[in-house]
A and B are shown apart, each in its own frame.
Chain A
Amino acid sequence: MALALVVSLSLTTVLAEESTTNSGSSGKTAESVREKLKTEKEARKTALEAFKTADKEQNTARKLTAAQNLANKLIAERQKALTQAKTKSAEVKCVAAKTDIGTAIDAVNANLTSQKAEVTAATTVEAVKTTIRAIIDKNHVFVAVLPAVRGMCAADSIKTLIDGRLTAVVAKIKTAGLDTTTIEKYLADAKASAQSAYDAYKAVANNPGISTYKTDLESAKTKLKAAKASLELAKIEAEKLRDQSTTATNTEDSTKKAEN
């Protein structure tokens, strides 16, 4: 009986896993790492409330503990976000960017680890408050690192697509005798813009505490949009070439039939 139960349970587990896998792969929607950190966010909010309560009570010892707890929650939330972002970058198609993303994330993580030690060593509430401000402003994990890393990955994916599949297709079309000058130009433009966007995002990811991070990110986004615009033109040109290729094939077939 026990054996039967084990077999049934295993089967149920397999089916459940299968259903999870299917639901995960259906509909590839982009979701921020930030959105997944609900537990950590709630813990941070609770710690903030506790700190504010302790602040009102004027109990210095309790205030210090509450401030340290809040700082640790802020660090934990950010470190989890960074870990997830690093894992995600390895999962998606941004192979070349993986190393750069890893380097940027590791640097911010190291900052947070050092700030954690500062929090533990702090003996006054003001010192912890200063560290809390640094945890946020020197790292800008949510408003700078995450979007920058995501932008690097997106830009890298475009470059990979162009250098890989699309270059191969263009070579084939060229060999077939069609004029590829226009599509090559659009693809080159898209690649150049994607490279500029990549470099701009990378600069932010490597220095998220910079005061100009907002404008730097906007500038990077503009470059990514330019890459998208060139890709759209390349798509139109690819459609034209596809139609030309189909017409050429049909004409060839008709000629062969007529000859037979």
Chain B
Amino acid sequence: MFPEPKAEKPASTALSIFIAVLVLLLITGGISWFYFNSKASTPEPVATTTTPTTSEPTSDTVETESTITTAPTDIASAISQLDKELVVIGLDQNSDDDTIDL
């Protein structure tokens, strides 16, 4: 009398998978867009060191326009970095890596 419940057709299963993939792509795409968009609008952090290029700069004035306001800070940073280097130099000088007991 009544028609038997139909088994799910392979075509509808494929459609479901297709829609699921589309949704996933949409979400992933959205996240990527948001990420790259925010990255582009955020200014890159200014590194304290610069990587030398093929042409060697003769002066730092090109990269940073220093004034008397920033000069003490520039010098203080150099002193601080020098202190760190002196510590590492001291540690290297006193290391036991160049001794061997045969």
- B49: chain A residues at CB < 8 Å are 28, 91-93
Q: Roughly how many angstroms separate A168 CA and B52 CA in the complex, as a whole number?
A: 20
Could you name 12 residue pairs across A and B whose Cβ atoms are closer than 8 Å?
Answer: A11-B35, A143-B97, A161-B74, A164-B57, A165-B59, A172-B67, A172-B68, A217-B89, A221-B90, A225-B86, A228-B79, A238-B68
Residues of chain B lying within 8 A (CB to CB) of residue A119: none
Contact of B68 with A245 in the complex, beta carbons under 8 Å = yes
Given A41-B97, A164-B60, A165-B61, 19 extra CB contacts under 8 A: A15-B35, A91-B51, A98-B52, A132-B100, A137-B98, A142-B98, A150-B85, A150-B88, A154-B81, A154-B85, A158-B82, A160-B60, A166-B74, A168-B60, A214-B93, A221-B86, A235-B79, A238-B72, A241-B68
Chain B nearest Cβ from A155, distance in angstroms: 9
Nearest CB in chain A to that of B95: its residue? A142
Residues of B within 8 A of A141 (CB): 98
Is A163 in contact with B86, judged by CB distance below 8 angstroms? no
B92 touches A234 (CB 8 A): no
Chain A, residues 1-22, CB within 8 Å of chain B (1/0): the string is: 1011001100100110010001
Contact of A164 among B20, B59, B86 (CB under 8 A): B59
CA distance A3 to B68 in the complex (A): 56
Query: In the complex the two chains form, is B68's CB within 8 Å of A143's CB?
Result: no
Known contacts A132-B102, A150-B89, A166-B75; decide if A30 and B84 are in contact (CB<8 Å).
yes
Determine whether the beta carbon of A7 is less than 8 Å from that of B32.
yes
A48 within 8 A of B: yes
A90 to B83, CA, bound (A): 20
* Contact status B57-A95, CB under 8 Å: yes
Q: Kindly state whether residue A102 has any CB partner on chain B within 8 Å.
A: no
Tell yes or no: A253 within 8 A of B by CB.
no
Question: Could you tell me the distance between the alpha carbons of A159 and B79 in the complex, rounded to whole angstroms?
Answer: 13
